[in-house]
Amino acid sequence: MEQLKELVYILSLNKTKKIRQYGFLQDETGRLLEFYIGLVNEAWNTDEEAAQALLNVDAKHKTYRRLRNSLKEELLNAFLFLDFDNSNHSDIQKAHHDCYKDWTQISILASLAAKKTSTSLAKQILKKGIEYDLTFIIIESARMLRRTNASYIGNEKDHEYYSSIIKNYSNVLSLEIQAEEVYTSFIRHYALCTIKSHSKTFVRHL
């Protein structure tokens, strides 16, 4: 239930009207939409409450579990269709969302041997990735383009260009990982101190 609440909360902050043209929550029984609206309105706190209200069954019943899993799958798929262009997100957030969504499409296209389309899209997100310093996107799109040029086109100039990008941003990635390690170590220490402090306060009140 907590995962569904989290997904619904995020989706409820964005417009889902456009998503529905792709069949979002449009099952024959209407229960997916009812389940979704109930979660948006915080009608239920537990699976037991939702199962009783929607199907008059126990939360462990296979019908409810199937409905819950179907809703979760619908919600996860819906994220691929969210439109952030008219949202309150910053330009870097929009670029992040768009590039990762596009990278998912590129990966699938590449696996299906759609070389021209995947290559064209990879060039686009590489450019945007460099503009917004999205290290993972830069490295992965450059790697794909280098493989394409090396294996299918044989363009030496492009091969060298993508190789240089991969080398430079691999160094950047290494530094980002080091910085992340320092940051998370600091936060972990702070979190432990906070937990211990709260524990001592709780003991004193006993």
Query: How many other C-beta atoms lie within 10 A of the C-beta of residue 181?
Result: 10
Please name the helix (run of DSSP H) or strand (run of DSSP E) that holds residue 166, with its range, or none: helix 156-204
Query: Are the CB atoms for 139 and 173 separated by under 8 Å?
Result: yes
Tell the residue number behind the tokens 């957030």, with chain if given: 93
* CA pseudo-torsion sign 75, 19, 43, 58: negative
The pLDDT value recorded for residue 203 is 42
The pLDDT value recorded for residue 178 is 94
Considering the entire predicted model, what is its pTM?
A: 0.73
Question: So where are the chain's domains?
Answer: 2-81, 91-200
The pLDDT value recorded for residue 206 is 47
Alpha carbon of residue 121 to chain centroid: 19
pLDDT tens, per residue, the chain with 206 residues: 888 888 888 777 665 666 665 667 777 788 888 998 899 899 998 999 999 999 999 999 999 999 999 999 988 888 877 766 666 778 888 889 889 989 999 999 988 988 889 999 999 999 999 999 999 999 999 999 998 876 676 778 888 999 999 999 999 999 999 999 998 888 887 776 665 555 555 445 44
Residues 6 or more apart whose Cβ sits within 8 Å of residue 1 = 44, 45, 46, 47, 50
